[in-house]
Amino acid sequence: MYEGDSEYRKYCNWLNKKQKKSKRRKNIRMLMTAVCVGVLSLLLLGFVWNFCKAAMQKKETTETTNILMEDNASEYVVAEPAVVEPAETPGEPSADIADEVETEPVIFVDAGHGGADEGCAREGVREKDINLAIALLVQEKLENLGYQVVMAREGDSYIAKEDRVKRANAIQADIYVSIHQNASDETGVSGMEVWYQDTDERDNKRLAKLICQQTAKSTNALERELRGDADFHVTGKTTMPACLIETGFLSNAQERTKLTAPEYQEQIADGIVQGIDYYFHPKTMYLTFDDGPSEENTNRVLDILKERNIQATFFLVGENVQKHPEEARRIAAEGHTIGIHCNNHDYGVVYASADSYIQDFEQARQIIYEVTGVEANIFRFPGGSVNNYNQNVRDEIIEKMTEKGYIYYDWNASLEDAVQKSEPQQLVQNGVGSTLGRQKVIMLAHDVVYNTGICLNDLLDALPEYEMKPLSESVEPIQF
């Protein structure tokens, strides 16, 4: 049984001492500042007295006196005394540096088990040792990236799970990641599992999915399950987003050998750290929909985006806006960006000449304005800016549209949902595969396609490393 002060109590004592030291430093700083202000006030008072005395003796004219006051005042404004900063205790950061450091995300890393609690063990390999080895690597890598890391344990000591959670909550950590190993009576079972609690709004799922996704990439480990039904103290009682990763099975001889290898532990740590980094610093995706609106399919897409609090961009067709004005108004009312696609989606008509393109564009723009009240200044070429229909007029169109102040956006990833009829899962694979890990992605989709709405939730779940944003005129365009 654990005796003596709990880790949580030790931490609270340490925190109280730290706060007292910080308070003393602040009091010293305030005292020195007050002294400097007092000295400055006395200097200024002496100056005013001497000046007034000289003015009375010389009885100079008001104009001359004003000139002297301006000259002398300018001299004294320049000659401000420096504020003396109190000396700092060696080894302690300044208050400014401390404040800056405290703005960095705080990661609570929990190496499961420890001390008398070995966790699972097979053939002399103990879970507690593997957990700690990986956790220490995660700590080092996170700190190299500038994160603050608080470890549940840094040695082979037993700390109750309740104390771990209390400590994480007390310091208001930004996320909680618990590292464990798995075991089974069936020795052939292998792979990685990540657990989280899906019964609250702490963003647990995204954190768990990122760590699962990135660790699978870094290790090529089998992804067994991403479980949202975790019933663990460390995932259920924490006040911040939390997840628990089981990096492998010690009961599987082959996987046990890998888990004890430093190289494989490095790979696991790399994946966990990359997942954490994407959680705080996601890449950017601009989700765009062409050809709408339609009644059923556009509303399905809008329902999903609203539920997930995502703003997207809709490049509308004028004729479809006339057919479905309520859907167009809903797009605008829910904060999505509206752009122009065309009025008539007949390539032969639209691309007959530069003038015919501009005429079609202005018709669509006027219709969209009358229905939604939005003056759209961004657009997307039907078929993209480079296609077999516009090659003779493309450059002229771009020149004239640019002169009018309009900006066009192509894409660098696509669901390929308008090219061929595909099942929802294939559309997800197309979308994820075409991102190619880019930092900035403009994703092409079509809200008039039935399966696009069906697969949208799965697509968004498969891209947790991206933050979804709407396009605007300030976003640098991607152009073919």
Boundary (domain end) residue, out of 83, 99, 115: 99
Whether 275 and 287 map to the same domain: the answer is no
Does residue 7 lie within any of the structural domains?
Answer: no
Average pLDDT over residues 31-43: 60
Per-residue tokens: 211: 């760590």
Whether 217 and 366 map to the same domain: the answer is no
Q: What is the pLDDT of residue 201?
A: 83
Whether 138 and 190 map to the same domain: the answer is yes
Average pLDDT over residues 141-165: 98
Residue 224 has pLDDT above 50, yes or no: yes
Residue 329 has pLDDT above 70, yes or no: yes
Residue 83 has pLDDT above 50, yes or no: no
Q: Find all residues with CB under 8 Å of 202, minimum gap 6, and list them.
A: 238, 239, 240, 241, 242
Does residue 476 lie within any of the structural domains?
Answer: no
Whether 241 and 356 map to the same domain: the answer is no
Task: Give the H or E element holding residue 287.
Answer: strand 283-290
Task: Give the H or E element holding residue 381.
Answer: none
Report residue 2's pLDDT band, with 50, 70 and 90 as the boundaries: very low
In the chain, how many domains are there? Answer: 3
Residue 316 phi, psi dihedral angles, 5° rounding: -95, 155
Whole-number Cα distances in Å, 336 to 203, 374, 397: 23, 11, 26
Residue 40 has pLDDT above 70, yes or no: no
Q: Find all residues with CB under 8 Å of 390, minimum gap 6, and list them.
A: 347, 351, 357, 381, 383, 397
Helix (H/G/I), strand (E/B), else coil: 460: helix
3-state DSSP percent of the chain in helix, strand and coil, to 5: 50, 15, 35
Whether 296 and 370 map to the same domain: the answer is yes
- Which CATH number goes with the domain that contains 225? 3.40.630.40
Cis check: omega of the bond before 293, within 30 degrees of 0: yes
Q: Find all residues with CB under 8 Å of 347, minimum gap 6, and list them.
A: 382, 383, 387, 389, 390
Residue 66 has pLDDT above 90, yes or no: no
Whether 127 and 196 map to the same domain: the answer is yes
357 vs 90, higher pLDDT = 357
Counting every residue written for the chain, the total comes to 480
pTM exceeding the 0.85 threshold for the entire prediction: no
Boundary (domain end) residue, out of 99, 117, 135: 99
Whether 141 and 216 map to the same domain: the answer is yes
Does residue 213 lie within any of the structural domains?
Answer: yes
CB 223 within 8 A of CB 212: yes
Residue 463 phi, psi dihedral angles, 5° rounding: -125, 55
End-to-end, the C-alpha distance of the chain in Å comes to: 67
Whether 115 and 253 map to the same domain: the answer is yes
Task: Give the H or E element holding residue 464.
Answer: none
Residue 58 has pLDDT above 60, yes or no: no
Tokens 């059923």 label which residue?
Answer: 296
Domain that holds residue 63: 21-99
Q: What gap in Å lies between CA 358 and CA 351, rounded to an integer? A: 9
Q: What is the pLDDT of residue 257?
A: 98
Average pLDDT over residues 376-399: 97
Does residue 14 lie within any of the structural domains?
Answer: no
Whole-number Cα distances in Å, 469 to 287, 313, 444, 458: 7, 8, 14, 18
Whether 114 and 235 map to the same domain: the answer is yes
Per-residue tokens: 158: 């037993």
Q: Using a pLDDT cut of 90, give the percent of the chain over it.
A: 75
CB 358 within 8 A of CB 406: no
Whether 226 and 353 map to the same domain: the answer is no
Residue 235 has pLDDT above 70, yes or no: yes
Does residue 11 lie within any of the structural domains?
Answer: no
Q: What gap in Å lies between CA 201 and CA 187, rounded to an integer? A: 37
H helix runs in 79-195, sequence order: 95-102, 127-144, 161-170
Boundary (domain end) residue, out of 255, 280, 305: 280
Whole-number Cα distances in Å, 412 to 425, 433, 439, 453, 479: 20, 11, 11, 20, 9
Q: What is the pLDDT of residue 81?
A: 37
- Which CATH number goes with the domain that contains 397? 3.20.20.370
Q: What gap in Å lies between CA 325 and CA 292, rounded to an integer? A: 11
Q: What is the pLDDT of residue 33?
A: 61
DSSP, res 72: H
Does residue 383 lie within any of the structural domains?
Answer: yes
Whether 436 and 308 map to the same domain: the answer is yes
223 vs 184, higher pLDDT = 184
Whether 250 and 134 map to the same domain: the answer is yes
Q: Would you tell me the crossing angle of helices 262-280 and 127-144 to the nearest 10 degrees?
A: 50
pLDDT in tens, 261-308: 999 999 999 999 999 999 999 999 999 999 999 999 999 999 999 999
Q: What is the pLDDT of residue 47?
A: 61
Q: Find all residues with CB under 8 Å of 36, minimum gap 6, and list them.
A: 81, 83, 84
Does residue 8 lie within any of the structural domains?
Answer: no
Residue 327 has pLDDT above 80, yes or no: yes
Does residue 475 lie within any of the structural domains?
Answer: no
Helix (H/G/I), strand (E/B), else coil: 86: coil
Per-residue tokens: 376: 């759209």
- Give, in degrees to the nearest 5, the angle at Cα 70 between 69 and 74: 115
Q: What gap in Å lies between CA 278 and CA 311, rounded to an integer? A: 20
